[in-house]
Amino acid sequence: MNKLLTSLTTATALTVALGMTASPALAERTLRLSSQIPENHPIGENLSFFKERVEKISDGEIQVQIYPSAQLYKGSEIPQAVSSGAIDMGLVLIDEYSGTLPATGLFSVAFLFPDYDVLAKAAGPDSPVRQQLDEMIRKTGTKVLWWQDYGPVQLLANDKPLVDPADMQDKKVRVLGKPSGDFIEALGGNPVKISGSEQFMAYQRGTVDVGMTGTTATKSRKLYEVMDYITITNHAQVEFLIVINDELWNELSEQEKAWMSEAALAAEKKMREETKAKNLEAQQYLAEETDMQVQELSEEQLNAWQKASEPAVQAYIKAAGETGQELVDQVRQMQ
């Protein structure tokens, strides 16, 4: 009887052991990420790339759940949601921090970044400009994991294209934050802050006269259905951040941090390499596949916009103080 019991016990233990070996490993940690961007936008696709990469290199020990299209939070709500721990991670436009940290509005300062090369230098992981801004944001209780290059910002209109800065006079214009608001005020317009997810309805209802966004968003959000013209001003280079609750980050093991950092760096590198092409592809799509008319500006016209918007640069420096002046000087040295 004892031999039989021993055999049964051994067999049972072996079966359990084999079962545990054969079963797929359960995730040790599941992270929830809130995004206001649609999944089919390049930024949404980049989030999916990160999710797949971190789950692969961690062998499933870290899982990421993405909630796109503002299912959980609007873009303006992300910083507080992440810093409070209401959500683990979030996608946030860097301008959302400019209300309390004016210096973070640097990338929306009108015509400060003339091309992608200057942008890449300023926003790269090793850039002192980037590192200084990351440190500022860390003090809010959110750690920046990686930056996403959204691309240049354009202006949308109905009835007629925007060609001259005077066309902005007294217009209500959707803006992303204070720096883009300063740009519009310099041109005589009235800034109205509207989240990305609310753009379509705002344009359709006439809440604003002029839109402000990139070509990729105009395509993915189908803004061409409610706006007739897009003027290629490239007046700002927008950066999105993926942030994680700082306390949560500190709780991660060194191995988990290494996995997250590796996947984040790969996602940032991929996005930075592809953004220019995707923006140009979206611009071509708008011109050839929709009723929207794409308005290019001549060098003379563009110079007029740049000259008219100079007060916006000074407004940023005034708001951000010595730090703002230092950052502007660093960026101009990169040109």
Q: Is 333 helix (H, G, I), strand (E, B) or coil?
A: helix
The answer on pLDDT for 15 being more than 70 is no
pTM above 0.85, yes or no: no
Of 20-29, 119-128, 285-294, the least confident: 20-29
Say if CB 122 and CB 334 are below 8 A apart: yes
Q: What percent of the chain has pLDDT over 90?
A: 84
Say if CB 165 and CB 305 are below 8 A apart: yes
User: What is the pLDDT at residue 26?
Assistant: 55
User: Which domains can be identified in the chain, with CATH numbers?
Assistant: 26-334 (3.40.190.170)
> How far apart are alpha carbons 238 and 148 in whole angstroms?
9
Tokens of 87: 């959500």
In sequence order, the 6+-apart residues with CB closer than 8 A to the CB of 82 are 34, 88, 89, 90, 92, 141, 142, 243, 244, 245
> How far apart are alpha carbons 192 and 315 in whole angstroms?
17
The answer on pLDDT for 11 being more than 70 is no
User: What is the pLDDT at residue 117?
Assistant: 87
Taking only the tens place, the pLDDT of each residue in 208-240 is 999 999 999 999 999 999 999 999 999 998 899
Q: Is 299 helix (H, G, I), strand (E, B) or coil?
A: helix
Tokens of 325: 């002046």
The answer on pLDDT for 280 being more than 70 is yes
Tokens of 51: 């999710």
Predicted confidence band at 48 (pLDDT cuts at 50, 70, 90)?
Answer: very high
For the chain, how many residues are written?
Answer: 335
The answer on pLDDT for 144 being more than 80 is yes
**Strand-pair category, 190-193 with 172-175:** parallel
Could you tell me the end-to-end alpha-carbon distance of the chain, in angstroms, rounded to an integer? 87
Higher-scoring residue by pLDDT: 16, 166? 166
CA 233 to chain CA mean position, Å: 20
Average pLDDT score over residue span 93-104: 93
Higher-scoring residue by pLDDT: 264, 149? 264
